[in-house]
């Protein structure tokens, strides 16, 4: 039984949720998000709570039950509070700067990497002397934010010997011992 799917979702003030033709629409002050739901799943809005019921106890339906609950909850939390991800550039000469929505990364390659970010994601770069540069990404869409953060990290993943590369702030890396003489 899906314990996540059985949990109710509370709707905070200022957020409107609507269900029409298997599409859940969540409207907030920032934007509007939509999520399509498989036929058979029932989304009931009772006052300021949402309950999701599944059509059967089939394995696939049980898996989707928790997924849909999490996706709807993420839309509501994102429009209410928002999500933030921070990436840290570890390495000598690694730099990050931005002009508006363009992120300019210097990661030790022969050229800089320039990435144009969508308008839904706010970008901020912090460079303090003596500290690693940090990229702060903020958005109301958790899926889009995670995809962009993973794309930036994929340009130079942290290597296991010195830990150089792009990593999430607070991420624990598995380190390997170097050559033993």
Average pLDDT per run of 10 along the chain, which is 181 residues long? 83 92 91 93 92 91 92 95 95 93 94 94 93 95 96 94 93 88 65
Q: Side-chain half-sphere of 13: how many Cα atoms within 13 Å?
A: 0
Residue 107, phi then psi, degrees to nearest 5:
-120, 30
The structure's pTM equals: 0.88
For 94-127, write each residue's pLDDT tens digit. Answer: 999 999 999 999 999 999 999 999 999 999 999 9
Long-range contact pairs involving 12-15 (C-beta distance under 8 Å, separation at least 24): 12/48, 12/76, 12/80, 14/80, 15/76, 15/79, 15/80
**Which candidate, 72, 85, 82, places its Cα nearest to that of 33?**
72
Residues in CB range of 43: below 8 A, 6 or more apart: 19, 24, 37, 50, 51, 52, 68, 72
pLDDT on residue 2? 59
Q: Which residue has the tokens 């939509």?
A: 34
The side-by-side arrangement of strands in the sheet containing 165-168 is 122-126, 134-139, 83-90, 165-168
Output the pLDDT for position 135.
Answer: 96
DSSP letters for 70-86: HHHHHHHHHHHT-EEEE
pLDDT at 151: 96
Per-residue model confidence (pLDDT) at position 181: 65
The DSSP element (H or E) to which 103 belongs, if any, is: strand 102-106
Specify whether the CB–CB gap between 164 and 98 falls below 8 A. Answer: no
| Contact present, 96 and 125 (Cβ < 8 Å) | yes
Q: Give the pLDDT of residue 3.
A: 84
- Helix, strand, coil % over all residues of the chain, rounded to 5: 20, 35, 45
Contact, 75 vs 32, CB < 8 A?
no
CA distance 162 to 90: 9
């Amino acid at each position: 039984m899906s314990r996540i799917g059985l949990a109710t979702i509370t709707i905070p003030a200022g957020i409107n949720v609507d269900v029409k033709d298997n599409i859940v629409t969540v409207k907030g002050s920032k934007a509007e998000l939509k999520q399509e739901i498989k036929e058979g799943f029932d989304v009931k809005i009772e006052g300021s709570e949402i309950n999701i019921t599944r059509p059967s106890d089939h394995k696939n339906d049980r898996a989707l039950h928790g997924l849909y609950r999490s996706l709807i909850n993420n839309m509501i939390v994102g429009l209410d509070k928002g999500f933030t991800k921070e990436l840290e550039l570890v390495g000598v000469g690694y730099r990050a700067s931005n002009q508006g929505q363009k992120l300019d990364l210097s990661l030790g390659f022969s050229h800089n990497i320039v990435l144009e970010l969508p308008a839904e994601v706010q970008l901020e770069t912090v460079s303090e002397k003596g500290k690693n540069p940090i990229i702060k990404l903020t958005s109301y869409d958790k899926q889009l934010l995670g995809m962009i953060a993973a794309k930036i990290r994929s340009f130079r993943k942290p290597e296991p010997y010195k830990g150089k590369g792009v990593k999430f702030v607070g991420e624990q890396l598995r380190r390997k011992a170097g050559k033993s003489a």
